[in-house]
């Protein structure tokens, strides 16, 4: 049946070529329609307290919470008011709050301002007339991409702005440019790798064209999700390129081997029949690694897992249907562009591995427990407050504002409207919390002898709705960290002491606190799911118990070493990157261990243990290094070229993880197979049909 299907593919190759090109064009047209979400708060589970608070707040209040801080340096009180007015006129800016608002919402002389308000909003210089003014700005989420650059034009490069709206707007613009640059450089470097590992100058073009069609189709099909996260958008395409590269390489190598004895079309059918098992098996383990992310309650995991799994499946379909058609259509030109073998046969490398494999295997065994323990003692960033480092303008602005005015955030407490006694009790209790520097509420405003009739409409809609009163808290706290999380819990306990469960608390620090709670509970779940699923597949493949343990333990140790390195150098880790790399590295690199192991088992049917190791390394090095080096390249390029902290760190994790996996597979795994040979290989064993085919293709490189 498989042969009949591939015979049809070969026979109708021109129609298949046209269909896939049309599908790629459709994918390219649909890609711009796929939204990209840069706000991590949107991916919190619906049942978290902060998510419910944000939903209620959006339903009840037309006025949003402040989401930016702007510092104007070396200005007078009047000049600051002029800046405030200009910023207020920017389309998308809903409100700008400054010192004049805190003084009973009236423009009063500077001498009337209290010291606390003055320190909060205006730091006078030595001359006593000019100083640095800090304004809190509320920007419409849907217009922040236009509003933030406009505010920057008004204040100039010398002044500062920070906050969630600023970070998101800048990340959106920069990431698009950086993705394009990363993809372009990755393709060029991968092209060079393919030139070294193929036998025709045209083969690399065929491989990249096939993968490119799969990537474009996948990007278009993301429209079924409506929108994707910034992590998926930035890393999905280049990961699909790196992970699925070896599928096309295996097919071309096998086709070249079959052509020696068969006519063109028959050779392709034979190659496809023999490659289906190894390529499909490789794809399944990769898909499972990605699908484990679907189990995360933090919805960036399912977002990325589904998109990457879908991408790998499309790559498999493309390799089995479109790439064969492309190879046959261009076969005449391929023949004219053949070149000599550019790589050595790696026998020397095999002998080197044979000499060191047992000591390396012992070192590997000794490193397992320390690597696991150290990898679990990293310090983490859970939110988006550190995505831009001090070397970027956003990071530098944040540090400068903090140096002058200290840390700050804005929270909102929503309580049922009309119960003035309980609201007053809560207000008094909140004022006792030292981190709360200012509290604004409807009742507090009216108690300041300002009649409700002259209260500005913007203030009224900010503080009261049909059903809720909103208390706006200016807090002296980072967006995340232990102190911030303790403050959030204190605020929740305080609100609960007055209102029970009948209140809502929202804010950047609150969402980050819930994010921390959510993602830390996800870790064990997705790791166990990925490991168990891959283990079961390997059990089915190899029909042995010890082999899956050795293979999974090898890659898991590579993962632990990878994520332990930041701990050793006291570098904080973005927890999202930490979560994602565990599944991505397992799914993307366990194939290397499978390929080497199966080739060793096959070689052991005719060779002794030591010679089988040398022959195995000679057979598989080129194929494993083709895929591994592509993963290293795209990972480190993303790490180097991306200014977004989460994406940059994920890229470094991917590149470094591929190196760790390659080193363990090439240097430690052979020693493990040698030591446990009697449990791994029996003379009665027959080589697995699927992976022996993969190994044969490797030896043809």
The 10s digit of each residue's pLDDT in 370-416 is: 999 999 888 888 877 788 888 888 889 989 998 988 888 889 999 99
pLDDT number for residue 524 = 77
Show the tokens assigned to 533.
């699923």
Confidence of residue 88 (pLDDT cuts 50, 70, 90): very high
Whether the per-residue pLDDT at 84 is higher than 60: the answer is yes
Q: Pick the range with the lowest mean pLDDT from 149-163, 366-380, 400-414, 481-495.
A: 400-414
Q: pLDDT band at residue 614, thresholds of 50, 70 and 90?
A: very high
Which of 580-594, 600-614, 666-680 has the weakest average pLDDT? 580-594
Q: Does the structure show a pLDDT above 80 at 601?
A: yes
Average pLDDT over residues 219-240: 87
Tell me the DSSP string of 324-388.
HHHHHHTHHHHHHTB----S---HHHHHHHHHHHHHHHHHHHHHHHHHHHHHT---EE-SSTTSS
Write down the pLDDT at residue 684.
54
One of 1.10.357.10, 1.20.1640.10, 3.40.50.150, 3.20.20.140 is the CATH number of 2-38+169-384+514-699, namely 1.20.1640.10
Q: What are phi and psi of 185, to 5 degrees?
A: -70, -40
CATH 3.30.70: does it fit domain 393-513? yes
Of 392, 347, 335, nearest to 611 (Cα)? Answer: 347
pLDDT at 453: 47
> How long is the chain?
701
Rounded distance between C-alpha atoms, residue 514 and residue 51, angstroms: 9
Helix (H, G, I), strand (E, B) or coil at 35: strand
| From-to residues of CATH 3.30.70 in the chain | 68-162, 393-513
Q: What is the pTM of this model?
A: 0.82
pLDDT of residue 487: 94
Higher pLDDT, 196 or 505: 505
% of the chain residues with pLDDT over 70:
92
Give the pLDDT score at 85. 93
Q: What is the average pLDDT across 426-452?
A: 76
Nearest Cα neighbor of 271 from 263, 209, 618, 591 is 263
Give residue 597's Cα distance to chain centre. 31
Residue with tokens 């944040």: 398
Q: What is the pLDDT of residue 117?
A: 59
> Which residue ranges does the chain devote to CATH 1.20.1640.10?
2-38+169-384+514-699
- Smallest CA-to-CA distance from 61 within 463, 509, 495 is with 463
114-118, 612-616, 645-649: which range is least confident on average? 114-118
CA 321 – CA 323 distance, rounded (Å): 6
Question: Could you give the strand order of the β-sheet that contains 409-416, starting from the edge strand earlier in sequence?
Answer: 436-440, 468-475, 409-416, 504-507
pLDDT, residue 454, reads 43
Please give the helix or strand (H or E) that residue 460 lies within, else none. helix 457-463
Q: With beta carbons less than 8 A apart as the criterion, state whether 166 and 388 touch.
A: no
| Class of the CATH-defined domain 68-162 | alpha beta
Among the listed residues 342, 406, 409, the one whose alpha carbon sits nearest the alpha carbon of residue 199: 342
Picking from 44-53, 122-131, 656-665, which range would have the lowest pLDDT averaged per residue?
A: 122-131
Which of 330-363 are b and which e, b meaning 16 or more Cβ less than 10 Å from the residue's Cβ?
Answer: bbeebeeeeeeeeeeebeeebeebbeebeebbee
Mean local confidence (pLDDT), 194-223: 90
Calculate the average pLDDT of the chain: 85
Most confident of 54-63, 425-434, 539-548: 425-434
Handedness of CA 427, 428, 434, 437 (dihedral sign): positive
Is the pLDDT confidence value at 692 over 50?
no
Buried b (16+ CB within 10 A) or exposed e, 144-167: bbebbebbbeebeeebbbbbbbbb
Does the pLDDT at position 689 exceed 50?
A: no
Mean pLDDT of 255-278: 85
Q: How confident is the model at residue 132 (pLDDT cuts 50, 70, 90)?
A: very high
* Whole-number pLDDT of residue 640: 92
Closest by CA position to 235, among listed 318, 293, 170, 321: 293
Measure Cα distances from 569 to 373, 379, 388, 574 in Å.
Answer: 15, 11, 20, 15
């Amino acid at each position: 049946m498989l042969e009949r299907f591939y015979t049809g593919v070969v026979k109708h190759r021109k129609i298949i070529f046209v269909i896939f090109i049309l599908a790629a064009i459709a994918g390219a047209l649909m890609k711009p329609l796929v939204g990209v979400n840069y706000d991590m708060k949107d991916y919190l589970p619906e049942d978290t307290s902060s998510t419910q608070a944000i939903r209620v707040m959006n339903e009840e209040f037309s006025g949003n919470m402040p989401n930016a801080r702007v510092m104007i340096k070396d200005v007078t009180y009047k000049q600051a008011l002029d800046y405030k007015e200009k910023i207020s006129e920017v389309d998308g800016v809903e409100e700008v709050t400054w010192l004049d608002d805190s003084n009973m919402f009236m423009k009063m002389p500077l001498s009337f301002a209290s010291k606390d308000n003055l320190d909060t909003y205006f730091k006078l210089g030595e001359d006593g007339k000019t100083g640095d003014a800090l304004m809190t700005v509320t920007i419409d989420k849907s217009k922040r991409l236009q509003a933030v650059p406009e505010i920057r034009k008004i204040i100039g490069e010398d002044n500062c702005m920070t906050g969630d709206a600023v970070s998101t707007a800048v990340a959106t613009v920069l990431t698009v440019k950086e993705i394009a640059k990363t993809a372009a450089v990755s393709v060029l470097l991968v092209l060079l790798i393919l030139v070294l590992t193929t036998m025709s100058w045209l083969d690399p073009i065929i491989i990249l064209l096939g993968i490119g069609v799969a990537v474009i189709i996948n990007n278009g099909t993301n429209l079924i999700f409506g929108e994707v996260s910034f992590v998926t958008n930035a890393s999905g395409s280049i990961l699909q390129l790196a992970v699925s590269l070896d599928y096309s390489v295996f097919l071309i190598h096998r086709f070249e081997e079959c052509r020696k004895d068969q006519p063109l079309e028959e050779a392709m059918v034979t190659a496809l029949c023999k490659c289906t098992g190894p390529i499909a098996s490789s794809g399944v383990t990769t898909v499972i690694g990605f699908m484990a992310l679907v189990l995360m309650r933090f919805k960036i995991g399912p977002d990325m897992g589904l998109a990457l799994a879908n991408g790998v499946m499309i790559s498999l379909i493309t390799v089995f249907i479109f790439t064969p058609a492309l190879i046959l259509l261009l076969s005449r030109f391929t023949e004219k562009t053949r070149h000599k073998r550019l790589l050595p046969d790696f026998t020397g490398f095999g002998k080197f591995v044979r000499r060191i494999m047992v000591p390396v295997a012992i070192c590997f065994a000794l490193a397992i427990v320390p690597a696991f323990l150290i990898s679990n003692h990293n310090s983490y960033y859970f939110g988006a407050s550190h995505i831009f480092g001090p070397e970027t303008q956003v990071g530098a602005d944040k540090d400068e504002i903090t140096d002058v005015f200290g840390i700050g955030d804005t929270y909102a407490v929503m309580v049922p409207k009309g119960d003035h006694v309980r609201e007053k009790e809560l207000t008094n209790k909140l004022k006792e919390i030292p981190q709360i520097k200012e509290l604004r509420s409807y009742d507090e405003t009216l108690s300041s002898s300002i009649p409700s009739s002259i209260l500005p409409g913007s203030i009224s809609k900010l503080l009261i709705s049909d059903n809720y009163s909103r208390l706006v808290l200016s807090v002296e706290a980072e967006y995340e960290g232990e102190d911030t999380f303790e403050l959030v819990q204190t605020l929740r306990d305080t609100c609960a002491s007055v209102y029970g469960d009948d209140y809502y608390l929202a804010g950047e620090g609150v969402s980050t606190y819930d994010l921390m709670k959510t993602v830390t509970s996800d870790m064990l779940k997705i790791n166990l799911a990925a490991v168990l699923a891959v283990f079961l597949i390997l059990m089915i493949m190899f029909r042995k118990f010890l082999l899956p343990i050795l293979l999974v333990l090898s890659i898991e140790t590579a993962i632990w070493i990878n994520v332990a390195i930041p701990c050793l150098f006291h570098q904080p880790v973005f927890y999202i990157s930490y979560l994602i790399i565990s599944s991505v590295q397992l799914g993307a690199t366990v194939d290397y261990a499978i390929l080497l192991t199966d080739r060793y088992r096959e070689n052991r049917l005719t060779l002794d243990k030591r010679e089988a190791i040398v022959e195995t390394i000679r057979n598989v090095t080129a194929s494993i290094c083709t895929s591994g080096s592509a993963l290293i390249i795209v990972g480190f390029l993303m790490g180097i070229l991306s200014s977004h902290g989460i994406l940059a760190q994920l890229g470094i994790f991917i590149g470094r993880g591929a190196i760790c996996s390659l080193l363990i597979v090439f240097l430690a795994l052979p020693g493990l197979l040698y030591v446990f040979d009697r449990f791994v290989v029996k003379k009665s064993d027959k080589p697995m049909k699927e992976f022996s085919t993969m190994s044969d293709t490797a030896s043809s490189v």
